[in-house]
Each structure stands twice: as structure tokens, then as C-alpha cells.
Structure 1
Amino acid sequence: MNIELRDKVAIITGSTLGIGFATAKGLAEAGAKVVLNGRSQAKVDKAVGALRDLVPNAEITGVVADLQSAEGCDTLVKAFPFCDILVNNAGIFGPQDFFETDDATWQRYFDVNIMSAVRLSRAYLPAMADKGWGRVIFLSSESALNIPEDMIHYGMTKTALLSISRGLAKLMRETGVTVNAVLPGPTLSEGVAEMLAEDVAKTGKTLDEVGRDFVKAARPSSIIGRPARVEEVANMIVYACSKQASATTGAALRVDGGVVDTLA
């Protein structure tokens, strides 16, 4: 399959590292004009430079915006008023005891993980519908279906994204715009590597080995028995953004390694 997006503008939020950066690389390789986003100028500049090295002929730019606030979302929209592809990847995660999770933490997760995607989808979808083509992706998680007891605050936000993406797909019916959610399982991103760093230091095992141990302990239902690579998740996102995926909408596309034990 030859995915070709040469005439498309793609915005990927939270894309200086991890799944977001891998997605930006995949979309750039498909010919899309890629807009990277992060919260610091140094990180955005570094990511733009790295992506230009990896995909030399691509058209790549970046914008600094903290999407936790309405003002940050407005900064992004003012810098890039239109896009054909929006990947709502910006998000935060981390384990925390439910009884020690205060209101401010719940609100922060809501603002970053949910409202950034809501605000940007509200800003970009109307023009996509007018044009008759568009792709919006919400980065949910297997934790949306398999709520972890140590990250209830996180799982809640990812479940909400499934509702929003499904509802928006219906709202965009027969417009040529598709809206989907992608559900990664444990993925060996920089953030997860940082979370596992202490175990790597303690055990003397490699990151891959510690990652496998983590999956077997924390997600024993995993069929692949290891964390996914960021590129494996990005492959699904790039496909869902493609012209070939025109009949895929309102879907929850799992890249969870089989963690969620369901036939659907």
C-alpha cells in the first residue's frame, strides 16, 4: 500500500517525542506538510531539526503552545488556521493512588488530555467539512477499556476521548471527514522509558527486558508479551490518516498487543 499525502497539512500535538514524533515522521514520509507541537522552544526546535534529518525533503515546521489552556490552543490555531489532518496526541500520564489524587490533578488531566482535543477539533473540523475531506485522530489508550486501578484519573480521560471521537464521527457523517480513536497499549516511549529507568538501574537488565517484565506483571493479558514500539503505534495512525482509510470512521483502533480481552 502506497500512502500518499503530498497535498495535506498535518498537525500533530505533543509531537516532540514518542508516539507523536513517530507519527510526524510517518506522515512526513507520506508527503504531508507536518506541523510539530510542544511546550518549549528548545524541544520544538530540536524535534524539527531531527525530523528534517530523517525526512530531508519534507516540509516541516513547529509551533510552541501549551495546550492545557484555551489560550495555548488559540496560539496553535492562530499560527496554523487550517489543517487537513489533526492528530490529538498531546497528553499526560502517571500512576497515582486514587485517594491521594487531589482536585487539581484531576482538573489538569481533564484539561490536557480531553479539552485540548475538544478545543482543536472544534476549531479545525468545520473547514475540513466545507472542503469535503479531513482526518481527525484521538489518541486514547487500552486504559480506556481496561481501567488501571493505579491510574483511574488517566483512564477516565481516555474513555472520554472514545465518546468524543465516536460522537464527532457521527456529526461529520457524509462530509468526507473521518474521526477515529487509536488505542495504544504499553508502548516503549521516552516517557515509559523514564518510568522504568529505576528498575533498569536496580536490576541491570536492558530496557527491553524490563519493559517485558513490566508488561507481564502489569498487563498479563498482553498477547505479544512486550511493549509496542512507537513506530508500531504510528503505523496505525498514519493509515487512519490516509486516503485509503476513507471507510474507517467512528472506530476504536486498538494497537494494544492484545491486552484488552475482547473479540470486538
Structure 2
Amino acid sequence: MKDIVVSAIQMVSGDSVAHNLARARALLQQAAAGGAQLALLPENFAHLSGRGSYAVAETFAGIDDAGSEGSGGIRVGENRASAEQQPIQHALQRWAAELGIWLVAGSVALRERADGSATEGSRSRSACLVYDDRGRLRARYDKIHLFDVEVDDAAGRYRESASIEAGNAIRVASTPWGDLGLSICFDLRFPELYRALAMAGAEMLVAPSAFTHTTGQAHWMTLLRARAIENGCFVIAANQGGQHSPNRRTWGHSAIIDPWGQVLAEADEGEAVVTAKLEAETLARIRRQMPLLSMRRL
């Protein structure tokens, strides 16, 4: 791993895709101006409301040939996203290239699987997309664990599986600074996913999220620190953070955490850009002193 400056972008996204994209771009500009080389957007950054998080879905634009190495089955050689047909993906490509940063788009609703086949029924995939600093799509991860739970808040019940088809494969993206393990929100509660990412070479883990205020207040930071400590990885977590609708409130507290579990930077609620430097020596020292991955017995 090499030293890298990263930013976690915290948003309070709503119904308007145009407004959300404008806010995302402004926050990414702030991150780039602050020296970020890689920035992470939260889950549902382009659309989040009380009426359903995935009402806005696009056709998958595919991945550039240059990004095909280690892409895990993502189809290659497709045309790049168009402003008319794939406005969200087009914006992400443009921002990454214009700002000269690697951009991890927390989640985008896509109508196709990575191999180009159609999803089941009317459901979409919740995909985390990784763009390099030239705007090329380098990796795609489809959310595996879906939020089908009951929560003691204004919404009461969440059923992501009604509109989302679960993914079935882990994904580690190669970057110039090290390997990046991809996950989305509810995945945080399943430690076996992160152990698999770490064993596949991940040195940094991303957790773009829209944790509810109730569950976030109870478990958010505990889960983030545990995933960092038990796998000896840096964790970059970008959360939604505020009131989205009368029955939808998220926790915020986006954070960047080192492999010892130390919180390097943390937001409160509302829009925020959280930035920190991840030092390669910190990772090497902690993994050398406590080689957890090589000491496993189960």
C-alpha cells in the first residue's frame, strides 16, 4: 500500500436527482480542493426518499477495456454512459476526470447485472461503481445483503428485496495506492464478507451507507471499528446524515478509521466532507504486530 488522502462525502439526498447530483458535485469539488485523491459518495446519493430508494434506475453503461483487468466478469468494450440515457453514470465519469480523483459512487440503481443480463422482474441491482481519475469505470460491486428488517422509527419496516435483486460476488478494486474492498451499508453487519475481502487482498474497505438514525445511533461506529480492527484494514465510511422525508432520517457520522480502530476523522449530521491521510506504514506496522489474517484457525 502507498500513502493516500481520502474523503468520505456525507449527504442528505432527497427526491430530486438533479439537486442531489449538484450537491454531490459541489462536495466532491470541496474534497478535491482539500487534497483528496480518492472520494467516496454515500449509498443512494442520487435519490433517497420515503417512497423508496430505488425509484430511479439506469441501464448499465459497461466498463472500459482499460479497466477490465480483475473486473470480475464485468462486460467490457461498451460505449461510455450518455448524458441522456445514463445521466448519473455520465456525471460520475465526468466528475472523476474533471477533478482528477478516483471516485467511488456509493450505490447506483442499475437495471442489468454486471454481465449484461436482465434482473428478475422489475427489480434493479444496487451497485457500487469505482471510477479512476480519467473517468474510466474500473470495478462494480452489487450489494449482497438487503435491508429487510423492522426498525423502531417512523418508517417501521424496510424491504429492500421488494425492489432490489441481491448480488452474489465480492469485489476488490485495484487502485494505485492499494486494494479496495467494496461493500454497501447493511453488509456491515456480516463480518464474513469483510474477512473474505481482506483475504482477497483488501487493505482499505469502503462502506457507503444510508444507516437509519435509530440503527446508526446504536451500532454504526461499533460496526465500523470492528471491521477495521478484525481485518487490519482502513475503513472509509460515507453515510447519509439528516431528515430526508417525514418518515426517513439517517444517522450521519461518516468516518475514516485506521486498522487499530482509531477514528481519524468523523462528521456529525448534515452535509460534510471528511478527509484523512491513510499511511502505509500504519497498516504495515499493525499487521506486523498483530497478524490476524495469518493466525486464523476457522
Compute the TM-score of the two structures, normalised by the length of structure 1.
0.38
What is the TM-score with the length of structure 2 in the denominator?
A: 0.34
